[in-house]
Amino acid sequence: MPESAAVRDMFADIAGRYDLANHVLSGGLDLHWRRILVARVREVAPRRVADLATGSGDVALALRRGLPMDTEIIGLDFCSPMLQRAEAKKARNPRYDGVRFGIGDCLALPLEDNAVDAVTIAFGLRNLEDRARGLAEMRRVLRPGGRLCCLEFTQPARWFRPVYYLYLKHVLPHLAGILTRNRNAYDYLVGSIGAFPEKERLLDELDAAGFIDVRADALSASIVAIHIAHAPPEV
């Protein structure tokens, strides 16, 4: 698994062009994936949501748009330049005033036990230095019965793999290098996607972390999946 300091430095270096690269490299599908993620959160009518590895804030701000205005939304990340981008977006629209951004490492979240009704993390789980520890932290901060929604790359459907891996290994790094002037960051991306477990194995990891009612919803020929899991109810 990647080292936290290296991941933080990498995202700091590409923060200024991160959003542009996401939109272009995904062909705009990132917008569609976020809308589905927000819909999965909305199903449980949370009063307080923590968006982890919030980066430039796109998921946190999408949650603000998709949830009732009295929902408290907290975006946490350990990379200050990315949070600066999130704060700049927030400042452009008064509707986002209720979103709060702050420094927070997924391996040691600055939240109390049972603090939130829902946790989201989009494209951040595979960057954790210790995934089991990160999942344990997510379980800790969720209230009993609370929902975890994890949007992450996974292994694509078999019929789509030849085309997908051709794009991922040969086209994406070159295009990303032009967009961000940092091809190394996206060489890392390719490697991290290839090393990330398939949907079924991640379900096993969620089970091992103490979550219940776990499932995976594959999207876009299983390029990505939303893993949904719940903290056990009070006994």
Q: Residue 185: pLDDT band by 50, 70, 90 thresholds?
A: low
> Hey, what amino acid is at 3?
E
Fold of 4-158+197-230: Rossmann fold (3.40.50)
Q: Residue 177: pLDDT band by 50, 70, 90 thresholds?
A: confident
CA torsion sign for 217, 215, 52, 3 is negative
Distance of CA 89 to the CA centre of its chain: 18
Spatial contact of 104 and 80, defined as CB atoms under 8 Å apart: no
pLDDT tens track for 122-151: 999 999 999 999 999 999 999 999 999 999
Cβ burial of 148 (10 Å; 0-12, 13-18, 19+) is buried
Spatial contact of 228 and 40, defined as CB atoms under 8 Å apart: yes
Q: Pick the closest to residue 53 from 138, 146, 177 (CA basis).
A: 138
Average pLDDT over residues 2-29: 76
* Gap between the Cα atoms of 172 and 180, Å rounded: 12
Q: Pick the closest to residue 221 from 158, 157, 140, 161 (CA basis).
A: 157
pLDDT tens track for 41-95: 999 999 999 999 999 999 999 999 999 999 999 999 999 999 999 999 999 999 9
Q: Is the pLDDT of residue 101 over 70?
A: yes
Average pLDDT over residues 163-176: 83
pLDDT at 196: 86
pLDDT tens track for 187-214: 777 778 778 888 999 999 999 999 999 9
Q: Is the pLDDT of residue 16 over 80?
A: no
Q: Pick the closest to residue 136 from 234, 193, 200, 205 (CA basis).
A: 205
Spatial contact of 113 and 146, defined as CB atoms under 8 Å apart: no
Q: Is the pLDDT of residue 235 over 60?
A: no
pLDDT at 7: 74
Average pLDDT over residues 12-29: 76
Q: Pick the closest to residue 8 from 68, 53, 63 (CA basis).
A: 53
Pairing mode of beta strands 99-103, 72-77: parallel
Q: Residue 3: pLDDT band by 50, 70, 90 thresholds?
A: confident
**What value, to the nearest 5°, has the Cα angle with vertex 211 and ends 64 and 56?**
30
More confident residue, 36 or 16: 36
pLDDT at 11: 74
Q: What is the mean pLDDT of the chain?
A: 90
